[in-house]
Protein backbone atom coordinates (compact mmCIF):
# COMPACT_ATOMS: atom_id res chain seq x y z
CA UNK A 1 0.00 0.00 0.00
CA UNK A 2 2.83 2.44 0.78
CA UNK A 3 4.24 1.94 -2.74
CA UNK A 4 0.88 2.84 -4.21
CA UNK A 5 0.67 6.04 -2.16
CA UNK A 6 4.24 7.03 -3.00
CA UNK A 7 3.67 6.39 -6.69
CA UNK A 8 0.46 8.40 -6.74
CA UNK A 9 2.23 11.28 -4.96
CA UNK A 10 4.97 11.01 -7.60
CA UNK A 11 2.51 11.17 -10.50
CA UNK A 12 0.48 13.99 -8.97
CA UNK A 13 3.71 15.94 -8.39
CA UNK A 14 4.96 15.33 -11.92
CA UNK A 15 1.73 16.27 -13.69
CA UNK A 16 1.12 19.19 -11.33
CA UNK A 17 4.41 20.68 -12.49
CA UNK A 18 3.37 20.18 -16.11
CA UNK A 19 -0.14 21.59 -15.66
CA UNK A 20 1.07 24.38 -13.40
CA UNK A 21 3.52 25.57 -16.05
CA UNK A 22 0.82 25.49 -18.74
CA UNK A 23 -1.52 27.53 -16.54
CA UNK A 24 1.20 29.99 -15.48
CA UNK A 25 2.25 30.66 -19.05
CA UNK A 26 -1.37 30.90 -20.26
CA UNK A 27 -1.94 33.67 -17.67
CA UNK A 28 1.02 35.49 -19.24
CA UNK A 29 -0.46 35.10 -22.73
CA UNK A 30 2.08 32.45 -23.76
CA UNK A 31 0.88 29.44 -25.72
CA UNK A 32 2.84 26.55 -24.26
CA UNK A 33 1.17 23.54 -25.84
CA UNK A 34 2.23 23.28 -29.48
CA UNK A 35 1.82 19.51 -29.83
CA UNK A 36 0.24 18.69 -33.23
CA UNK A 37 -0.77 22.34 -33.66
CA UNK A 38 0.20 25.07 -36.06
CA UNK A 39 1.81 25.01 -39.48
CA UNK A 40 3.85 21.80 -39.40
CA UNK A 41 4.74 19.21 -41.96
CA UNK A 42 2.69 16.00 -41.93
CA UNK A 43 5.44 13.86 -40.42
CA UNK A 44 5.94 16.15 -37.45
CA UNK A 45 2.21 16.62 -36.91
CA UNK A 46 1.68 12.82 -36.91
CA UNK A 47 4.62 12.26 -34.55
CA UNK A 48 3.30 14.85 -32.12
CA UNK A 49 -0.20 13.38 -32.34
CA UNK A 50 1.18 9.92 -31.53
CA UNK A 51 3.14 11.52 -28.67
CA UNK A 52 -0.10 12.94 -27.24
CA UNK A 53 -1.77 9.52 -27.44
CA UNK A 54 1.28 7.76 -25.98
CA UNK A 55 1.66 10.09 -23.00
CA UNK A 56 -2.06 10.08 -22.11
CA UNK A 57 -2.18 6.29 -22.52
CA UNK A 58 0.91 6.02 -20.35
CA UNK A 59 -0.86 7.82 -17.50
CA UNK A 60 -3.83 5.46 -17.76
CA UNK A 61 -1.65 2.34 -17.78
CA UNK A 62 0.43 3.69 -14.88
CA UNK A 63 -2.65 4.41 -12.76
CA UNK A 64 -4.14 0.98 -13.51
CA UNK A 65 -0.81 -0.68 -12.67
CA UNK A 66 -0.63 1.25 -9.40
CA UNK A 67 -4.27 0.45 -8.52
CA UNK A 68 -3.89 -3.27 -9.23
CA UNK A 69 -0.43 -3.34 -7.63
CA UNK A 70 0.69 -6.02 -10.06
CA UNK A 71 4.35 -6.73 -9.49
CA UNK A 72 6.56 -9.38 -11.04
CA UNK A 73 10.11 -8.50 -9.88
CA UNK A 74 12.22 -8.63 -6.74
CA UNK A 75 10.74 -6.35 -4.04
CA UNK A 76 14.10 -4.58 -3.58
CA UNK A 77 13.77 -3.21 -7.11
CA UNK A 78 10.58 -1.43 -6.03
CA UNK A 79 12.62 0.83 -3.76
CA UNK A 80 14.92 1.68 -6.68
CA UNK A 81 11.84 2.45 -8.76
CA UNK A 82 10.47 4.87 -6.17
CA UNK A 83 13.86 6.60 -5.87
CA UNK A 84 14.28 6.89 -9.67
CA UNK A 85 10.72 8.14 -10.06
CA UNK A 86 11.14 10.91 -7.51
CA UNK A 87 14.48 11.87 -9.03
CA UNK A 88 12.62 12.14 -12.34
CA UNK A 89 10.03 14.48 -10.80
CA UNK A 90 12.79 16.64 -9.32
CA UNK A 91 14.75 16.75 -12.60
CA UNK A 92 11.57 17.62 -14.52
CA UNK A 93 10.67 20.35 -12.04
CA UNK A 94 14.14 21.90 -12.17
CA UNK A 95 14.12 21.75 -15.99
CA UNK A 96 10.73 23.45 -16.28
CA UNK A 97 11.69 26.10 -13.71
CA UNK A 98 15.05 26.78 -15.41
CA UNK A 99 13.40 27.24 -18.81
CA UNK A 100 11.27 30.06 -17.40
CA UNK A 101 8.95 31.32 -20.15
CA UNK A 102 10.91 29.61 -22.95
CA UNK A 103 9.44 26.21 -22.05
CA UNK A 104 7.17 24.68 -24.70
CA UNK A 105 5.46 21.34 -25.27
CA UNK A 106 6.08 20.49 -28.90
CA UNK A 107 7.78 22.49 -31.60
CA UNK A 108 6.51 26.08 -31.59
CA UNK A 109 7.04 26.88 -35.27
CA UNK A 110 7.77 30.56 -35.87
CA UNK A 111 7.52 31.62 -32.22
CA UNK A 112 10.81 32.93 -30.85
CA UNK A 113 12.10 31.78 -27.47
CA UNK A 114 15.36 32.20 -25.63
CA UNK A 115 17.93 29.40 -25.74
CA UNK A 116 18.63 28.20 -22.20
CA UNK A 117 22.05 26.67 -21.53
CA UNK A 118 22.62 27.34 -17.84
CA UNK A 119 21.62 25.48 -14.69
CA UNK A 120 20.49 21.93 -15.36
CA UNK A 121 20.73 22.64 -19.11
CA UNK A 122 24.51 22.86 -18.72
CA UNK A 123 24.44 19.13 -17.85
CA UNK A 124 21.68 17.91 -20.18
CA UNK A 125 20.22 19.27 -23.42
CA UNK A 126 16.91 17.60 -22.58
CA UNK A 127 16.47 17.41 -18.80
CA UNK A 128 12.66 17.66 -19.00
CA UNK A 129 12.58 14.55 -21.19
CA UNK A 130 15.10 12.91 -18.86
CA UNK A 131 12.63 13.64 -16.07
CA UNK A 132 9.87 11.93 -18.06
CA UNK A 133 12.09 8.89 -18.65
CA UNK A 134 13.15 8.55 -15.01
CA UNK A 135 9.57 8.92 -13.78
CA UNK A 136 8.26 6.38 -16.30
CA UNK A 137 11.05 3.90 -15.52
CA UNK A 138 10.54 4.46 -11.79
CA UNK A 139 6.84 3.56 -12.04
CA UNK A 140 7.75 0.58 -14.23
CA UNK A 141 10.25 -0.77 -11.69
CA UNK A 142 7.82 -0.21 -8.83
CA UNK A 143 4.80 -1.84 -10.49
CA UNK A 144 6.42 -4.01 -13.16
CA UNK A 145 4.06 -5.83 -15.49
CA UNK A 146 4.33 -6.64 -19.18
CA UNK A 147 1.69 -4.17 -20.37
CA UNK A 148 3.38 -1.33 -18.48
CA UNK A 149 6.75 -2.41 -19.94
CA UNK A 150 5.42 -2.21 -23.51
CA UNK A 151 3.82 1.20 -22.94
CA UNK A 152 6.96 2.54 -21.23
CA UNK A 153 9.24 1.43 -24.07
CA UNK A 154 6.87 2.75 -26.74
CA UNK A 155 6.44 6.12 -25.03
CA UNK A 156 10.17 6.56 -24.47
CA UNK A 157 10.83 5.80 -28.15
CA UNK A 158 8.22 8.36 -29.23
CA UNK A 159 9.67 10.96 -26.83
CA UNK A 160 13.15 10.28 -28.26
CA UNK A 161 11.86 10.78 -31.82
CA UNK A 162 10.31 14.07 -30.67
CA UNK A 163 13.68 15.12 -29.21
CA UNK A 164 15.36 14.48 -32.56
CA UNK A 165 12.77 16.70 -34.28
CA UNK A 166 13.19 19.39 -31.63
CA UNK A 167 16.95 19.32 -32.11
CA UNK A 168 16.45 19.92 -35.84
CA UNK A 169 14.20 22.87 -35.00
CA UNK A 170 16.66 24.28 -32.44
CA UNK A 171 19.50 24.03 -34.96
CA UNK A 172 17.43 26.06 -37.44
CA UNK A 173 16.22 28.54 -34.79
CA UNK A 174 19.54 29.18 -33.04
CA UNK A 175 22.11 28.12 -35.65
CA UNK A 176 25.75 28.16 -34.57
CA UNK A 177 24.86 28.89 -30.94
CA UNK A 178 22.91 25.61 -30.65
CA UNK A 179 25.49 23.67 -32.68
CA UNK A 180 28.21 24.83 -30.29
CA UNK A 181 26.05 23.94 -27.29
CA UNK A 182 25.59 20.41 -28.70
CA UNK A 183 29.37 20.03 -28.85
CA UNK A 184 29.65 20.50 -25.09
CA UNK A 185 26.47 19.04 -23.56
CA UNK A 186 25.12 15.55 -24.16
CA UNK A 187 21.54 14.90 -25.20
CA UNK A 188 20.50 13.30 -21.89
CA UNK A 189 23.19 13.67 -19.27
CA UNK A 190 26.78 14.81 -19.02
CA UNK A 191 29.23 17.18 -20.59
CA UNK A 192 31.54 16.25 -23.44
Per residue in 102-116, pLDDT (tens digit) is: 777 777 766 778 889
Q: What is the mean pLDDT of residues 79-97?
A: 97
pLDDT band at 158 (very low <50, low <70, confident <90, very high): very high
The pLDDT, as a whole number, for residue 169 is 86
Q: Is the pLDDT of residue 34 over 70?
A: no
Cβ-contact 20, 97 below 8 angstroms: no
Which of 28-37, 97-106, 128-137 is the most confident on average?
A: 128-137
In angstroms, the CA 112 to CA 114 distance is 7
Domain chopping of the chain, boundaries: 2-14+39-184
In angstroms, the CA 108 to CA 103 distance is 10
φ and ψ of 145, to 5 deg:
-155, 160
Q: Work out the end-to-end distance of the chain between its first and last CA atoms, rounded to an integer number of angstroms.
A: 43
Contacts of residue 21, Cβ cutoff 8 Å, sequence gap at least 6: 32, 96, 103
Least confident piece of the model among 28-37, 119-128, 161-170? 28-37
User: What is the average pLDDT score of the chain?
Assistant: 90
- The 3 state secondary structure assigned to the chain is CHHHHHHHHHHHHHHHHHHHHHHHHHHCCCCCECCCCCCCCHHHHHHHHHHHHHHHHHHHHHHHHHHHCCCCCCHHHHHHHHHHHHHHHHHHHHHHHHHHHHCCECCCCCCCCCCCCCHHHHCCCCHHHHHHHHHHHHHHHHCCCHHHHHHHHHHHHHHHHHHHHHHHHHHHHHCHHHHHHHHHECCCCCEC
The pLDDT, as a whole number, for residue 163 is 94
pLDDT band at 147 (very low <50, low <70, confident <90, very high): very high
Instruction: Output the CATH code of domain 2-14+39-184.
Output: 1.20.120.1630
pLDDT in tens, 45-71: 898 889 899 999 999 999 999 999 877
Cβ-contact 36, 48 below 8 angstroms: yes
Least confident piece of the model among 30-34, 75-79, 96-100, 146-150? 30-34
Q: Is the pLDDT of residue 117 over 80?
A: yes
Q: What is the mean pLDDT of residues 95-101?
A: 91
Q: Is the pLDDT of residue 30 over 90?
A: no
The pLDDT, as a whole number, for residue 44 is 83
Amino acid sequence: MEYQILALVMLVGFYSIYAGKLIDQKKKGIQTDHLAKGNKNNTLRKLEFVLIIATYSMVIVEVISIALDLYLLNPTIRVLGIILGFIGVIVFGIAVYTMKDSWRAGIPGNEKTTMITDGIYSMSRNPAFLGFYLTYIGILLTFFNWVLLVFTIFTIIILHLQILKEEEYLTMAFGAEYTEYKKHVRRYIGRK
